[in-house]
Structure 1
């Protein structure tokens, strides 16, 4: 085994541990991830992994937090890239979420954790489902504040919660191709937000 890598600060060490856990989980599945294997991949001692995260539950929490942060950043970037074009922005964000869930097993597990399943990572995530939904609403609300300031806050919050829950439902049980689903849900959001902005969304 190579000697542990000395990193300049704790944040870098923690980031390396989470990155190692992510790689191993995607490659082998969470059930096969061991603290010793994470330590070796991260270039730190096994005790360092335990010191930082306390055990598998703590490491799973950190892994979920990091993946949620990346996912939310992606949604935010896609939304703001489309500016005030409501339908195009929402369709692109929904398509991003569906594609990420299909391609990234960690995102899929996190987003669908409240729906049950056999993945061994789920016990560490089921208490986070409401937090995930709340976090997913943040970029939608930020984008709407910038580009749809005339929409009533309660109406906006309802639209955001509705589309997020529907996206999760379509991740769990896809009914049609992602592009069709994204366009349909975007049309629903336009209706929820009112016909006044439909011209800007097309």
Structure 2
């Protein structure tokens, strides 16, 4: 019962922190404000997360895990179709980053900025306190998935194709050059052609929430 309450409280705290961070930036969020919103004491939050940085790290971990779980789900849904898996992975990333400003900040974080103590309190939030970006982790997931399900593809080609895919996706997130639908299709085509895969006939990347 106690563990259930703790998990519930932790989720409420992270949800409140997420809302406040998106509204005004992590540097302006106060632990006391989060505690008031959730209805718990500041000592309770400090006991659970250690300090504000610990709370921020937990928030980023949750956002990162949610994104990676989504990528894995997309890949699992297209185990027999490498081309469709690429298209849908790009679509998922563009959709998620558009819907979540916090996730977009995480995906486009610069590891050098994370190590700079002067930059840690600015903007929305730094990435995880390691030099590995979330998209690098996602890239590794993609490469391993292709190696497992499509061993006939050259490993070096897959690694290079995924790297190009990730870099183009990040470039679009940082500086959008067009609408998500067309950009997503263009990004996917680069990787598909590099790997010698045919574009899925239905790869229109229609995004229900596209504006």
Which structure: greater helix fraction? 1
Specify every segment of 5 or more residues in structure 2 that has no aligned partner in the other structure, as ranges.
Answer: 114-118, 202-211
Range moving further from structure 2, 154-163 or 167-176: 154-163
Query: What is the aligned counterpart of 2:51 among 52, 55, 70?
Result: 55
| 1:77 correspondence with 2:36 | no
Equivalent pairs, count = 193
8 Å CA contact retained: 2:60, 2:127: yes
Aligned residue number for residue 176 of structure 2 = 174
8 Å CA contact retained: 1:82, 1:89: yes
Name the CA distance, whole Å, in 1 between partners of 2:48 and 2:104: 26
- 1:25-47 CA-to-partner distances (Å, cap 9, x unmatched) read 23443233211122233343211
SS of corresponding position for 1:31: helix
- 1:65-105 CA-to-partner distances (Å, cap 9, x unmatched) read 11011111122222332333333321221122112212211
Aligned residue number for residue 35 of structure 1 = 31
TM, length-normalised to structure 2: 0.77
8 Å CA contact retained: 2:27, 2:123: yes
Name the CA distance, whole Å, in 2 between partners of 1:82 and 1:170: 24
8 Å CA contact retained: 2:107, 2:133: no
TM, length-normalised to structure 1: 0.80
Specify every segment of 5 or more residues in structure 1 that has no aligned partner in the other structure, as ranges.
Answer: 1-5
